[in-house]
């Protein structure tokens, strides 16, 4: 079976800078030492996976720089990321220009790989389309990312997900169910709210496993006039969350 490797570039960049920053503080690194260590982590994590097997294609997927189509649907998408960065202890105003220069260096160092950036798309959108296309052609795709949003892809055959730092293979007994539960709960990291207040993991599981959410959405699409205003708002939120998370 032919194999493809897809790397979520920004996911590895940001997960690695947090590791480098934390380790750098422990070892009293300063300035450029931390960034050099960060580059080392990124390159080693990529090469370790690339050299572990023979791949038909190696694809580096990048988020679009000028916003995503999800912003058109929901302007508050990821609006909380700025505060999270401020609270991280990392100087992102200093880091981001270094990151942009590093991307150029990577493209020069690895011209044999496919570096993809698509207008309005995030890396997971690119990876999803490629992985499903390769899967349909009977090819295996390994995706390097720690982003849990990718787990939904495991409902398709011939797709694997490997975490870049921990090198752990992600698994799921029921990817479709996990996806639906996440849509009910929302995603705090992306500023996507739950479909109703006080809806944690237990409530979300109950709504999904009982079939209550499926019944609600069926009524929403077939006879919305039969719903109370409260249930109508819940269904609209579920519809939005599904568009944003799926």
Q: What are the strands, taking DSSP E only, across 63-118?
A: 114-117
SS3 239: helix
Predicted pLDDT of residue 232? 97
Average pLDDT over residues 11-31: 86
Does the predicted model carry a pTM greater than 0.85?
A: yes
Predicted pLDDT of residue 92? 92
Cα distance between residue 33 and residue 24, in whole Å: 8
Which tops the pLDDT comparison, 22 or 210? 210
Structural tokens at position 124:
């997971």
Residue with tokens 């052609």: 137
Q: How many Cβ atoms from other residues are within 10 Å of residue 221's Cβ?
A: 9
Residues 6+ apart with CB under 8 A from 116: 59, 60, 61, 62, 126
pLDDT tens-digit series, residues 23-72: 877 777 777 899 999 999 999 999 998 998 999 999 999 999 888 999 99
HSE of 5 in the Cβ direction (CA atoms, 13 Å)?
22
- Parallel, antiparallel, or unpaired for β 169-170 and 159-162? antiparallel
- Parallel, antiparallel, or unpaired for β 57-62 and 140-144? unpaired
Query: How much of the chain, in percent, has pLDDT values that exceed 70?
Result: 100
Evaluate if residue 156 carries a pLDDT over 90: yes
Cα distance between residue 126 and residue 62, in whole Å: 8
Nearest to 114 by CA among 56, 60, 55: 60
Average pLDDT over residues 143-157: 95
pLDDT tens-digit series, residues 85-115: 888 889 999 999 999 999 999 999 999 999 9
- Parallel, antiparallel, or unpaired for β 3-8 and 140-144? parallel
Mean pLDDT of all residues in the chain?
Answer: 94
SS3 187: strand
CA dihedral sign, ordered 174, 175, 177, 181: positive
Structural tokens at position 46:
């990529």
């Amino acid at each position: 079976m032919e194999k493809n490797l897809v790397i979520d570039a920004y996911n590895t960049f940001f997960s690695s800078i947090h590791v480098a920053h934390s380790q750098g503080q422990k070892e009293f690194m300063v300035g450029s030492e931390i960034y050099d260590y960060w580059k080392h982590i990124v390159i080693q994590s990529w090469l370790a996976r690339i050299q572990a097997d023979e791949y038909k294609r190696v694809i580096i997927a990048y988020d679009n720089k000028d916003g995503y189509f999800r912003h058109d649907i929901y302007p508050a998408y990821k609006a909380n990321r700025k505060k999270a960065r401020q609270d991280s202890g990392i100087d992102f105003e200093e880091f981001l220009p270094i990151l942009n220069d590093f991307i150029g260096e990577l493209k020069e160092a690895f011209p044999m790989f496919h570096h993809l950036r698509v207008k309005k798309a995030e890396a997971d959108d690119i990876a999803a389309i490629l992985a499903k296309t390769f899967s349909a052609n009977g090819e295996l795709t390994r995706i390097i990312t720690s982003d849990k949003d990718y787990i939904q892809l495991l409902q398709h055959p011939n797709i694997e997900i490997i975490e870049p730092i921990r090198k752990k293979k992600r698994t799921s007994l029921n990817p479709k169910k996990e996806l639906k539960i996440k849509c009910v709960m929302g995603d705090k990291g992306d500023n996507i709210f739950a479909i109703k207040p006080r809806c944690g993991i237990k409530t979300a599981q109950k709504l999904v496993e009982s079939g209550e959410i499926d019944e609600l959405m069926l009524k929403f699409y077939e006879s919305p006039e039969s719903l109370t205003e409260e249930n109508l708002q819940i269904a609209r939120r579920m519809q939005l969350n599904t568009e944003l998370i799926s």
